[in-house]
Every structure is written in C-alpha cells, then in structure tokens.
Amino acid sequence: MTAIRHLPEAPTGRRPLAPGAGIDAHRHDTHQIVYACRGVLSVTTGAGTWVAPANRAIWIPAGTVHEHRAHGDTDLRLVGLADNPLGLGHPTVLVVGPLLRELIITYTSDDRSPSDGGERERLWAVLVDQLKRAPEQRLHLPAARDPRLTAVCAILHRDPADSRTLAQLAVQAGTSDRTLARLCRRELGMSFPQWRTQLRLHHALLLLADGVAVTTVAHRCGWASASAFIDVFRRAFGYTPGRAFTL
C-alpha cells in the first residue's frame, strides 16, 4: 500500500460503494467500526485481510494503516470511536446480531446529525453496550512474510481449488513440507489446512457477492460438492451461502 492518507478522526456515516470500489490506504488517530449492511467488505493491512458479510463488522484500532474494498453493491457504514471500549489492539471481526445491526444503521443514517442531542447520546450508549457483547470471530486471512510461504500462498490465491498437498506445493516452492508447516504456524498462526479453508471461505464470499451460483462457487473454491461447501460455510457464518445476501 502506498500514498497513505492520515485522517485525524475516523469518520462516522454512510458510504455506498460500487462493486470493486474501495478506499485506498489510510490511517486515523481514533478507532473505527466498519460494517457493510449490504454486500461484502474486505479490509487489508500489512498483516493480512479481514472479510465481513452483512452479519459481521470489522474493528479497526487507531493508527492501523488499512484499505477497504467492496465486493458486490455495498452499503458501507462507518462508526468512529474516540475510546476503545473493546480493549482490542488489532483488527477483529465481530458478530453483528439483529439489534446491533439496526443500531449501526440508525446511528450512521444520512438523516441523523450530531444535533440530535439526548436521543443520539442514548443511541450511542446502547450501541457501545452491544459492541462490548459482540462475539469475536476468526475471519482473518493472515499474510505470509517468508518468500517460500508467500509463493505457496500466492499459488492458492490465484486458484483456491488447487488441491495439491503441502508436500507437492513445497516442491514447487523449493523447500520441504516440514519447513512450510513450521512457517504456517509461526507466521499465519494456524495450520496449512486451516489457512487453506479460510482462504476458500474468503474467496467464496467474494464470488457470492458477485452473484455466482452456490454450486459454481463450491467448485471454484475447491470443495468436492455443493453440500460439503454449504456445511463448512454454515459452520463458519451461521447461515447457508444461499442466504448470504438475503439477510
């Protein structure tokens, strides 16, 4: 990421984004919640990428250099926070329940202004309470640093359906599967199979946002059948891929 913009305060409000549009690399001195009530949003930092559909939000702590990207027709909602009520020092995906969803949408609606007085303050207090209760979910796709692991990750980014084993991929990267497995744990914080599943889920969300059929998404992302894909997707997100953009 280049040409990093500095914003003294994280903005609050609504920002519709067309498919493929985004907000280039920037940072702000306050914290922020980013939430796509329609579409899918990805947030990328030097540590990797976080992807959130409409029942997830992303916490971005102050000072984090990041960029946004929209997948599908996205209704982006931004909530700036001067304090850190969650006590989190790293980007995190949060589960957004029905109440929190409506609170974020109402608070960031175009027809609301800081002059709304006591009503807005009460709305803010409930929103923060709900944020504190929102469960964290591991939807982070970490980025590798070692060039050998980076090469393998790039292969799978280009084709998530590539089913080669770690040993087979290691040959192409000029190293051993034991070395790659060790690098996965050290740099990605998870095993290679876990990372590959995370990668496939991320790609699946982006394809679904573009309107690709569930069966096609399953095969493009490496699942042997649509039913296997649906099962993994449901366990990760709490609903089936067919309902991903009807919530």
pLDDT tens-digit readout, 131-143: 999 998 877 899 9
| Helix (H) or strand (E) run with residue 79 in it | strand 66-81
The token pair that represents 133 in the structure block: 């209760």
Question: What pLDDT digit, counting tens, does each position of 67-126 carry?
Answer: 999 988 899 999 999 999 999 999 999 999 999 999 999 999 876 555 556 888 999 999
Count CB-CB contacts under 10 A for residue 12. 17
| Helix (H) or strand (E) run with residue 59 in it | strand 56-60
Q: What's the mean per-residue pLDDT of the chain?
A: 91
User: Which residues make beta-bridge pairs with 66?
Assistant: 26
CA distances from 175 to 45, 164, 168, 179 (A): 27, 15, 10, 7
How many whole angstroms from its chain centre is CA 142? 11
Q: How far apart are CA 235 and CA 201, in angstroms?
A: 11
Q: 3-state SS of the chain: helix, strand, coil percent to 5?
A: 40, 25, 35
- Show the domains of the chain with their CATH numbers: 5-140 (2.60.120.10), 144-243 (1.10.10.60)
Output the pTM of the full model. Answer: 0.84
Cα separation of the two ends of the chain: 33
User: DSSP state, 41?
Assistant: E
